[in-house]
Structure 1
């Protein structure tokens, strides 16, 4: 077994599969009885699950308790609700631009939480009660089984099922009270209503783009009835780090009868059809059936007052005789965008791989891999579908390489970065309950339950029930051939690490919608730089030269001056990656002052100059993008006057197209532009624009003020956003388009013409 590099003890044990989830903002949530979202190197958070009352769906006669349909309810002895399923939303859905966390309990209740805004609070805040809204909906339709019109696509034929009668979904506010009155009903009615409302699993979809520019996300909740309900949550119109803005609102957009038994697993992915990205959905049931669903984003984005066909059955690949489905992992590889990969974990311990080719509409099912002896509790694809990690209830964690449609087990990579775990966490686990992959695929998190018989009964057994462990997997060998990018390094672990780090960096540059969360890349490179400095330099040179389109670049001593002249050819995402890596890896221990070095030929001086040139290009593109959007009527951005002054002060280094845009912006009517004159927030004295980061008022004491790193305006005294990468503060966030543009954005080119 590979050694873990970090571990954190949990005070209670998980009770479900997929008990750990890794968010796009580098938060790890663990369903350990009570849910503990924890930042890897920061303060921890806690969601305390309160006891909930049964759904007010009615009462039955005492003698009806002996009915067969009431057996599951009568056998349930859960006194306190614990976590059954958790799922992170994409980044940007929370009011503070972070992620929302959906939580499903053993009582069938689904709620959504956001992180606390206060630094002195660890309790996460509830923003939505999905079960409350679902109860209101079913009470309104008198608990009729939802029968939305569906399209079924089977054997290449498209047909409509006439047995379905469409009903109109409703939009419900999260603060609505339960409206059902308690009344006497039959045992069958009680069991049916309870199954409709008892959720078992939750899952967020990828972010969906709308023509209006406001994005949204879909939360799916699977129930005991075999139904899956879908809830649309829009991205906030503005972000804030205070509690003044409105909480998110969910809209019920559809309920489909996906299976005839309990929904046990849901997984989302995204694939490209006819040039546009579309969500893809996989559902699994306790009867063993697994289905692939195609999702129509245009219909999901429309108003819920109309009827829309948002889902169609793409394929039902597994029949009911193959055993219960415990976990699913869905992926559409970049290397084969026409193929859909679905890993299915079974209650028997087997893992099955299904490959659906959308170009020829064929499905290949691999032979069952009896990977484990007990129920599979976690599956996670990594490295674009080349690698699969699995864990199960017999405490085994395994890695697999996909070759064709078959899985081949390979050992977990050794931890050549060193072991950093604390000594107070024992290594006596006896069961795994979930696995999650880091944003850059270089690390995994696994939840394990301790063997109580091996713990010290005096203190360990009382305080430690489980553990979340972190393993480095950046050294996973994915190819047999020797990588020519790292000549002279006989250590194959370093070669594998280099290949995987380059793959991760390229993923961020190819997928502009992927949040730039590179904690694992920075941590790995920083550790390597202490013992393998030449290796890190060679890795960065290889990445820079490949980004610039050179198959083989010059030596390290000559590459940086060569890169200076080519930075304008890099995309904004590549510039941001270069900025962060330079600051936190290469120059982590160096002061950012070229004059402190004897000559620019010294290595730190060259890297500092590279950083300065890189930031100049980033700011120039931000200014140009802001000017262009203003001229096109996109928005009236704060700081236009300051940006024009910056162009004037840097006339010798700013590109001509930015100068021309600044001249056009100056001609706009004065009432539509921010005033050039600024006032000190402390004494109301005048402030002149002299620097992009700091400002001084004109009084004798000269109050030092902070300028917004984005808009260049003097920051107010209210709470500000802080960048942990460059240690700057902003009062206005940069537009999203500024992170996606290439050399010159198309909008600027159009404005120039």
Structure 2
């Protein structure tokens, strides 16, 4: 539920959007006739200044990421003045729109909060009418602009996922260095989904950072040592290396961080008993049948909360251990999407009426 101050901020945003404002000296938007789309510069310039001001304010991690008012204004301008809103957002992130093929290095110094903002803009503004469930397979009829934003979205999500996996794997190593109770005493997260994260690093070894590959290899040797010594891996890591289908108890193999398909036996007469299962966006484990957290932006689900440090990172850490051992290394108190940063909601059955906040 949106709080009263959020509604008040939205009203103020739309009220002052078309007003004449003092333009900051550092802002030089240079609106030409091609960008105006029939509007006057006096009409669009205040809107551009307000959108930039709002985006800069939301880069602060202490502000709740409630940006539906900015997204509503951006979507309206995308329909009636598309070149204008593209120009505004290009001014806000000039270096990210021209990312080279090695996108991980270009995004290493970008804060997680800004990556979250960019992901929301990509999905809700520039890719709102595009199917983005399979970003790895862009459609041929997509425009060059859509392909550009799709590539940016893919790189941003991979960057955030690598930060989350790096923090989780470092937490697993910290468990081995200390007792499990001692680690939790420092406020670290419950290590759910470690085997799945290790498998993801192995599958994408050619794409992930070398630091992440080394972490995955080290944690993989650690889990093998615990299994071979017949110690209870589940008791220490709260996870299972082998997963089962939530509907038929068939084995489930790790093939993607987004979804899984169980290996159910096929019936003798027609059809297939294979089930397509969603994976948790935080732990990469198969989501349970119980209600999970749901992100209305990226449509992903989460059965556990991400670590608080993910949302505070100013860039990709050189070493995750100081973050893991810090007193603030606990789980986030609010159900925030790890890839969008917005507040998630409990998913309800389709037959129940629930108002959508977006």
Q: Is 1:602 the equivalent of 2:167?
A: no
Answer 1 or 2: which has greater strand percent: 1
**Residue 540 of structure 1, aligned match among 65, 72, 89:** 89
The superposition leaves residues 303-352 of structure 1 with CA deviations (integer Å, 9 ceiling, x where unpaired) of xxxxxxxxxxxxxxxxxxxxxxxxxxxxxxxxxxxxxxxxxxxxxxxxxx
Partner residue in 1 for 2:52? 502
Partner residue in 1 for 2:3? 27
Aligned-residue offset at 1:663: 2.4
Partner residue in 1 for 2:11? 443
Aligned-residue offset at 1:681: 1.3
Distance 2:172 2:252 in 1: 25
Aligned-residue offset at 1:563: 9.3
Aligned-residue offset at 1:698: 1.0
Answer 1 or 2: which has greater helix percent: 2
Instruction: Give yes or no for contact 1:475–1:500 (8 Å, CA) kept in 2.
Output: no
Describe the shift of the 1:587–1:749 C-alpha distance in structure 2 as closer, same or farther (beyond 3 A).
same
Describe how 1:133-532 pairs up with structure 2 within 5 A: 438=7, 441-444=9-12, 472-479=15-22, 483-488=27-32, 490-509=40-59, 511-532=60-81
Distance 2:18 2:284 in 1: 43
**Residue 173 of structure 2, aligned match among 617, 621, 631:** 631
Describe the shift of the 1:493–1:438 C-alpha distance in structure 2 as closer, same or farther (beyond 3 A).
farther
Partner residue in 2 for 1:231? none
Q: Is 1:581 the equivalent of 2:124?
A: no
Q: Is 1:745 the equivalent of 2:285?
A: no
Instruction: Give yes or no for contact 1:560–1:610 (8 Å, CA) kept in 2.
Output: no
Instruction: Give yes or no for contact 2:288–2:303 (8 Å, CA) kept in 1.
Output: yes
Aligned-residue offset at 1:486: 3.7
- Structure 1 length-normalised TM: 0.35
Partner residue in 1 for 2:276? 704
Distance 2:15 2:109 in 1: 33
The superposition leaves residues 575-610 of structure 1 with CA deviations (integer Å, 9 ceiling, x where unpaired) of 1111111000001112235442258x7221121111
SS in 1 for 2:31: coil
Aligned-residue offset at 1:571: 1.0
**Residue 131 of structure 2, aligned match among 588, 591, 597:** 591
Instruction: Give yes or no for contact 1:628–1:751 (8 Å, CA) kept in 2.
Output: no
Describe the shift of the 1:694–1:442 C-alpha distance in structure 2 as closer, same or farther (beyond 3 A).
same
**Residue 615 of structure 1, aligned match among 154, 157, 160:** 157
Distance 1:606 1:726 in 2: 18
Distance 1:606 1:481 in 2: 30
Aligned-residue offset at 1:476: 3.9
Aligned-residue offset at 1:630: 3.1
Partner residue in 2 for 1:643? 197
Distance 1:543 1:569 in 2: 16
**Residue 300 of structure 2, aligned match among 721, 728, 742:** 728
Aligned-residue offset at 1:572: 0.9
Distance 1:725 1:477 in 2: 33
Moved more, 565-574 or 642-651: 565-574
Larger Rg: 1
Distance 2:20 2:100 in 1: 32
Distance 1:529 1:751 in 2: 40
Q: Is 1:659 the equivalent of 2:210?
A: no
Aligned-residue offset at 1:745: 3.1
- Superposed CA RMSD: 2.7
Distance 1:519 1:595 in 2: 26
Distance 1:480 1:656 in 2: 45
Describe the shift of the 1:564–1:501 C-alpha distance in structure 2 as closer, same or farther (beyond 3 A).
farther
Instruction: Give yes or no for contact 1:486–1:538 (8 Å, CA) kept in 2.
Output: no
Distance 1:523 1:471 in 2: 10
Distance 1:712 1:472 in 2: 43
SS in 1 for 2:118: helix
Distance 1:738 1:635 in 2: 12
SS in 2 for 1:542: helix
Distance 2:23 2:113 in 1: 31
Distance 1:620 1:611 in 2: 14
The superposition leaves residues 444-475 of structure 1 with CA deviations (integer Å, 9 ceiling, x where unpaired) of 3xxxxxxxxxxxxxxxxxxxxxxxxx953233
Describe the shift of the 1:677–1:596 C-alpha distance in structure 2 as closer, same or farther (beyond 3 A).
same
Aligned-residue offset at 1:527: 0.7
Aligned-residue offset at 1:487: 2.9
Distance 1:572 1:708 in 2: 19
Partner residue in 2 for 1:132? none
Describe the shift of the 1:735–1:623 C-alpha distance in structure 2 as closer, same or farther (beyond 3 A).
same
Give the number of the structure with larger relative contact order, counting CA–CA contacts within 8 Å between residues 6 or more apart. Answer: 2
Describe the shift of the 1:645–1:437 C-alpha distance in structure 2 as closer, same or farther (beyond 3 A).
closer
Partner residue in 1 for 2:230? none
Distance 1:576 1:695 in 2: 25
